[in-house]
Amino acid sequence: MPQRHSKNNNDLAFFTYDEKRKLGYGTQKERLGRDSIKPFDACCLCLKPFIDPLCCQKGHVFCKECILECLLAQKKDIQRKLAAHAAQLKQEKEEEEERLTLQKARELDAFDQQNHGAVPQYSDKNHTRDKNGFHGANSVKVTSYEEEALRNMKAFWLPSATPEAPVKVEAPSTSTVCPEGNEKLKLKTLFPIHLTEDRSEQKKSKSLDKTYICPSCKVTLTNTMSLVALSSCGHVFCKKCAGKFMAVDKVCLVCNKGCKDRNLVPLEKGGTGFAGHGDHLEATDFKHLGSGSGLGLVRPAMKT
């Protein structure tokens, strides 16, 4: 009688393709929706609608107060690390001077003991010579040093005498960084941005919340659109209008101020711990099988 492989596929020493599919083995992908993405008019630090927004050259937007507090905190931390590094260098210099002084005193003591010692030096090869060149009774001084070192030696098996490794403070970087992109950021490189508010009568009658539009095509701006800000004047346009007019005419459509290609700064999307950045807003989940348990273990999803 033939076996029913479709029903009895759980008695094998390995997982079949059907069992792996039922356990969810492999890479699971899910497209993030609009609700999972940070609003375009929200600060990257406080995640609230920004007030007096400032934008960096990489397209991250912050409240003016939030980014100033962040940069000030970074400067204070840098000063603290510089002071700790300077104190460590001073301590290392003092320890080196103390070591040289102690070594010089030992050399003078060894020289004095060699010249006034009662036991003469031997020239044969049968007597072992220590590191200071002494034989027999002349090595008593070295032995006393060793005994003193043994008395002061830290014992790792005693909690009260456990040795501690010195914490070495590396020389810190003196540059402040962007809290969102981790690139170098200076206050003078930030520029304010200006959004065009929708002041039509139809909008006023529908909602009290502020909505912003592109000053060129009058399309309502959302977090699903690609936006571009001009670092020369700060006005924000949709990417389509920026590439169609500003990149060609080299002038802002709102204030008629000249701009160049380097003044077109794309604004970054996303910004929360559960949303990705850029145009590839997709959550990926990697699932592999547990060893011998038949259950799937899930690793955290990587940001894409």
Query: Which class for 230: exposed (0-12), middle (13-18), buried (19 or more C-beta within 10 A)?
Result: buried
**What's the Cα-to-Cα distance from 268 to each of 37, 175, 223, rounded to whole Å?**
11, 23, 10
**What is the structure's pLDDT at 145?**
59
Residue 18 has phi, psi (to 5 degrees) of: -65, -40
Distance CA 42, CA 61 (A): 8
Which tokens is 239 given? 């990417």
User: Topology of 38-112+174-192 in CATH?
Assistant: Herpes Virus-1 (3.30.40)
pTM for the whole structure: 0.60
Q: What is the mean pLDDT of residues 57-74?
A: 92
> In degrees rounded to 5, what are phi and psi of residue 246?
-65, -40
Structure tokens at 242: 């920026």
The whole-number average pLDDT for the span 89-102 is 92
> Identity (one letter) of the amino acid at 43?
C
* Residue with more model confidence, 145 or 228: 228
Residue 228 to residue 269: CA distance in whole angstroms: 11
User: How far apart are the C-alpha atoms of 208 and 36, rounded to whole Å?
Assistant: 23
The percentage of the chain sitting over the pLDDT mark of 70, rounded to a whole number, equals 63
Q: Which residue has the tokens 């929360």?
A: 272
HSE-CB of 76 using CA atoms within 13 angstroms: 6
Per-residue DSSP letters for 86-103? HHHHHHHHHHHHHHHHHH
CA 171, CA 8: separation in Å to the nearest integer?
A: 65
Rounded CA separation 267/239 (Å): 10
Burial of 62 (0-12, 13-18, 19+ CB in 10 A): buried
Is the pLDDT at 273 greater than 50, yes or no? no
Q: What is the mean pLDDT of residues 112-124?
A: 62
Angle at Cα 54 formed by Cα 186 and Cα 235, nearest 5°? Answer: 125
Residue that wins the pLDDT comparison between 232 and 38: 232
User: 234-261: per-residue pLDDT in tens?
Assistant: 999 998 888 888 878 888 888 888 888 8
Torsion over CA of 82, 86, 92 and 97, rounded to 10 degrees? 170
Q: What is the pLDDT of residue 224?
A: 78
Pick from 77-81, 185-189, 275-279: least confident: 275-279
User: According to the model, what pLDDT value does residue 135 have?
Assistant: 45
Give domain limits for the chain: 38-112+174-192
Tell me how far apart the alpha carbons of residues 59 and 40 are, in angstroms, rounded to a whole number: 11
Does the pLDDT value for residue 88 go beyond 50?
yes
Q: Mean of the per-residue pLDDT values for the chain? A: 75
C-beta separation of 121 from 135 below 8 A: yes
The Cβ of residue 165 has, within 10 Å, a number of other Cβ atoms equal to: 5
Crossing angle between the packed helical segments 140-151 and 64-116, to the nearest 10 degrees: 150
Which has more pLDDT, 223 or 275? Answer: 223
Nearest to 191 by CA among 235, 237, 231: 231
